[in-house]
C-alpha cells in the first residue's frame, strides 16, 4: 500500500469559513484530537497574523504530540524586501515549528497586477523564500497558489515557478485550485503533467469546493500522481469550503487502497468529525458522506428489506469502518421490514403481525403530525405500548401553566404539576424562562427525589415545526426534543394544536425513556 501524506489545514483554512472561529483553547483541543487521529501534518495558522496565533505556536510546542508535526503558514517574501528582513518569513521562524508552508504566486496575472512585480522577480521571491526556510532547517512545502488557473493561461510560467521552488529545496510542490473552479478531468491532466516533469519531488494537492468538486478533484490529483493531500475536517473553509478530509481519507483508504490511517484510527473518524463541529459550535451536516448521521440511514421499506438480507445491497461500505452506525428511519413510508429491522436491533423477537400493528400505529400518528425519524425514544416507547409491555413510572393528574407580564415588562412563568407515583402524590410548582422551561422544571422537581438518575438528563435541543401552516394560529405543531445523559442521546416527539401540550408529550417521553433505559440496564 502506497503512503499518502495527510496535511490538515482546519486551523487556518477552516477558520476562514464564514461563522467559524476557534479560541486558543479550541485550537489546542483540535490539535490533540487530530494528533490522536494520526494525521502527519497539522497547519497551525497564519504565523504573525495576530497575537493569538503566536501564543498558539508557543503552547503547542509543549504538547508532546505523538503522530503529527505542526506547520506554520506564511507567504513568500515581499517584493524588494530581503528574506532576512521579511516579516512573514521571520514570523514563521519565530514559531519554532518543524515545518513551514509558503504560499507563492504562480499565475502571471496575479504576479503583475496583484503582487505588482515582474515575472522574473517573482521567481527570485519564491526561490529565496524557500531556500531561507530550508537554511533554518524547516521541512518546507510550497503552496503554488492559483496553480491550475495559472497553468491554463500560461503553463510555461507556472512550471517555472514550481522549478524555482523545487531547486531551492521544497519538499513538496502543492498545487492549489485556489478559486475552486477546476473540474476533475482538468485536475488530473494538469497534475499528471507536473508529476511527469518533477518526478523526484513530492507533488501535493489543495482544492476548494466552489464547483462541489473538491473531493473529486483531490482524488483525481492522487490518481495522477499527487502523494501529499491537504484538506480540512468537515470541509470547513472560505466560501464553499475545502476538500473534506472526512470523505477524502476513507475514499483513499477504502476505495483506492492507499495507506493513510490504520484501521483503528479510521474507526474514530466519525467521532472526530462531530467533535470538530462541537468545538466550533456548528450544526453537524447530517448528509455528509461516511460520517454524517444520515450517511447510513435507511427509510425506504424496499431498501431495508434488502439490507436485512445482505448489507452491501444498499451500503457501499460497512458503517463501522468509519465509526458510524446503521439507522432505520421509521415513518409512514416504512414497510414491515423497517419495523422488523428496528425490532431486531432492539433484540425483540421477530413478529410480522406485531410489525404490522406497529407500522399501522406509526402511520396513524404521522397523519396527526408526529414524526419518528429523529424521535427514536418515542418510537421505542410506542413499540412497548403496542406490545403491552409498557409500564409508566408516573401518572399525570393535571398541569397548569401561567404566563404573567407586569407593567415593568418583567415576564413571570410558573407551571404547577400534579403527578401520581405509585401511592404517592407529588404536587409542585416550577418557574422558568417560558412555559416549556417551567414545565420541565416542575416535572423534574416532582420526580428527581424518587428517581435520582433524572438529575443526569439534560435537554440539548428543542425544535418546533408547524404541521399544517394553512390553519394559521390554530395550526397543529410538532415538537422534537433531544435529551442526553452521561451515556447516550435520544429524541422524543409530541404533536398537538397546543404547543404546550406537544412539548409536555415530548418531555414526558424523554423522562419515561430514561427511566425505562435505566431499568433495562
Q: What angle do CA 171, 177, 178 make, to 5 degrees?
A: 100
Contact criterion met (CB below 8 Å) for 243 and 235: yes
Where does the pLDDT of residue 330 fall: very low under 50, low under 70, confident under 90, or very high at 90 and above? low
DSSP state of 425: E
Report how far residue 27's alpha carbon sits from residue 31's, in angstroms, rounded to the nearest whole number: 6
Using CB atoms within 10 A of its CB, is residue 372 exposed (0-12), middle (13-18) or buried (19+)? buried
Contact criterion met (CB below 8 Å) for 99 and 69: yes
Pairing state of beta strands 297-298 and 41-46? unpaired
Average pLDDT value for residue range 495-501:
92
Report how far residue 379's alpha carbon sits from residue 498's, in angstroms, rounded to the nearest whole number: 21
The length of the chain in residues reads: 521
pLDDT for res 110: 94
> pLDDT digits over 424-477, tens only?
999 999 998 889 999 999 999 999 999 999 999 988 889 898 887 676 767 889
**pTM for the whole thing?**
0.75
pLDDT for res 300: 66
Residue 247 above 80 pLDDT?
Answer: yes
**Cα 152 to chain centroid, rounded:** 34
Domains in the chain (CATH in brackets) are 5-257 (3.20.20.70), 297-367 (no CATH), 368-386+451-521 (3.30.160.340), 394-449 (3.30.160)
Q: What angle do CA 14, 19, 21 make, to 5 degrees?
A: 55
Residue 36 above 60 pLDDT?
Answer: yes
Q: Residue 437 to residues 404, 417, 442: CA-CA distances in angstroms?
A: 15, 13, 9
Where does the pLDDT of residue 347 fall: very low under 50, low under 70, confident under 90, or very high at 90 and above? low
Average pLDDT value for residue range 321-350:
67
> pLDDT digits over 266-303, tens only?
999 999 999 999 899 888 898 999 999 889 987 766 77
Give the three cell numbers for residue 520. 433495562
Report how far residue 337's alpha carbon sits from residue 315's, in angstroms, rounded to the nearest whole number: 17
> pLDDT digits over 375-401, tens only?
888 988 988 888 888 889 999 999 999
Report how far residue 32's alpha carbon sits from residue 268's, in angstroms, rounded to the nearest whole number: 14
pLDDT for res 352: 72
Report how far residue 176's alpha carbon sits from residue 203's, in angstroms, rounded to the nearest whole number: 11
- Coil vs helix vs strand at 172: strand
pLDDT for res 340: 62
- Coil vs helix vs strand at 226: coil
Amino acid at each position: 500500500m502506497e503512503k499518502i501524506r495527510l496535511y490538515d489545514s482546519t486551523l487556518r483554512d477552516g477558520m476562514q469559513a464564514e461563522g467559524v472561529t476557534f479560541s486558543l483553547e479550541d485550537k489546542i483541543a483540535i490539535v490533540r484530537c487530530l494528533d490522536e487521529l494520526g494525521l502527519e501534518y497539522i497547519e497551525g495558522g497564519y504565523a504573525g497574523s495576530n497575537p493569538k496565533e503566536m501564543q498558539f505556536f508557543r503552547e503547542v510546542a509543549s504538547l508532546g504530540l505523538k503522530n503529527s508535526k505542526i506547520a506554520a503558514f506564511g507567504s513568500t517574501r515581499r517584493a524588494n524586501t530581503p528574506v532576512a528582513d521579511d516579516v512573514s518569513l521571520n514570523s514563521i521562524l519565530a514559531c519554532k515549528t518543524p515545518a513551514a508552508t509558503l504560499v507563492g504566486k504562480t499565475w502571471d496575472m496575479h504576479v503583475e497586477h496583484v503582487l505588482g512585480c515582474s515575472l522574473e522577480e517573482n521567481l527570485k521571491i519564491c526561490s529565496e523564500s524557500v531556500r531561507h526556510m530550508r537554511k533554518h532547517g524547516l521541512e518546507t512545502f510550497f503552496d503554488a497558489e492559483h496553480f491550475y488557473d495559472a497553468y491554463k493561461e500560461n503553463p510555461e510560467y507556472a512550471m517555472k515557478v514550481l522549478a524555482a521552488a523545487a531547486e531551492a529545496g521544497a519538499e513538496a510542490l502543492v498545487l492549489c485550485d485556489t478559486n475552486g473552479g477546476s473540474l476533475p478531468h482538468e485536475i488530473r491532466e494538469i497534475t499528471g503533467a507536473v508529476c511527469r516533469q518533477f518526478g523526484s519531488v513530492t507533488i501535493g494537492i489543495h482544492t476548494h469546493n466552489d464547483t462541489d468538486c473538491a473531493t473529486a478533484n483531490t482524488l483525481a490529483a492522487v490518481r495522477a500522481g499527487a502523494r501529499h493531500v491537504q484538506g480540512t475536517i468537515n470541509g470547513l473553509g472560505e466560501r464553499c469550503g475545502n476538500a473534506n478530509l472526512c470523505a477524502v481519507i476513507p475514499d483513499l483508504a477504502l476505495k483506492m487502497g492507499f495507506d493513510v490511517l490504520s484501521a483503528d484510527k479510521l474507526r474514530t473518524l466519525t467521532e472526530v468529525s462531530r467533535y470538530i463541529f462541537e468545538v466550533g459550535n456548528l450544526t453537524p451536516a447530517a448528509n455528509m458522506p461516511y460520517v454524517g448521521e444520515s450517511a447510513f440511514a435507511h427509510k425506504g421499506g424496499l431498501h431495508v428489506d434488502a439490507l436485512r438480507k445482505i448489507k452491501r445491497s444498499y451500503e457501499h461500505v460497512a458503517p463501522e469502518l468509519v465509526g458510524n452506525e446503521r439507522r432505520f428511519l421509521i415513518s409512514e413510508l416504512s414497510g414491515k421490514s423497517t419495523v422488523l429491522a428496528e425490532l431486531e436491533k432492539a433484540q425483540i423477537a421477530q413478529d410480522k403481525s406485531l410489525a404490522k400493528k406497529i407500522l399501522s400505529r406509526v402511520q396513524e400518528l404521522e397523519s396527526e403530525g408526529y414524526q419518528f425519524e429523529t424521535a427514536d425514544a418515542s418510537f421505542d416507547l410506542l413499540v412497548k405500548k403496542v406490545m403491552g409491555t409498557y409500564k409508566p413510572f408516573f401518572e399525570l393528574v393535571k398541569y397548569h401553566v401561567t404566563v404573567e407580564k407586569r407593567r415593568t415588562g418583567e415576564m413571570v412563568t410558573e407551571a404547577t404539576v400534579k403527578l401520581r407515583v405509585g401511592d404517592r402524590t407529588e404536587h409542585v410548582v416550577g418557574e422558568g424562562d417560558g412555559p416549556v422551561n417551567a414545565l420541565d422544571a416542575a416535572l423534574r422537581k416532582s420526580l428527581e427525589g424518587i428517581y435520582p438518575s433524572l438529575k443526569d438528563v439534560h435537554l440539548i435541543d428543542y425544535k418546533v415545526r408547524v404541521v399544517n401552516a394553512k390553519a394559521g394560529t390554530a395550526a397543529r405543531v410538532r415538537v422534537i426534543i433531544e435529551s442526553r445523559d452521561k451515556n447516550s442521546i435520544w429524541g422524543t416527539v409530541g404533536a398537538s394544536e397546543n404547543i404546550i401540550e406537544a412539548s409536555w408529550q415530548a418531555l414526558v417521553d424523554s423522562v419515561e425513556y430514561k427511566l425505562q433505559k435505566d431499568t433495562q440496564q
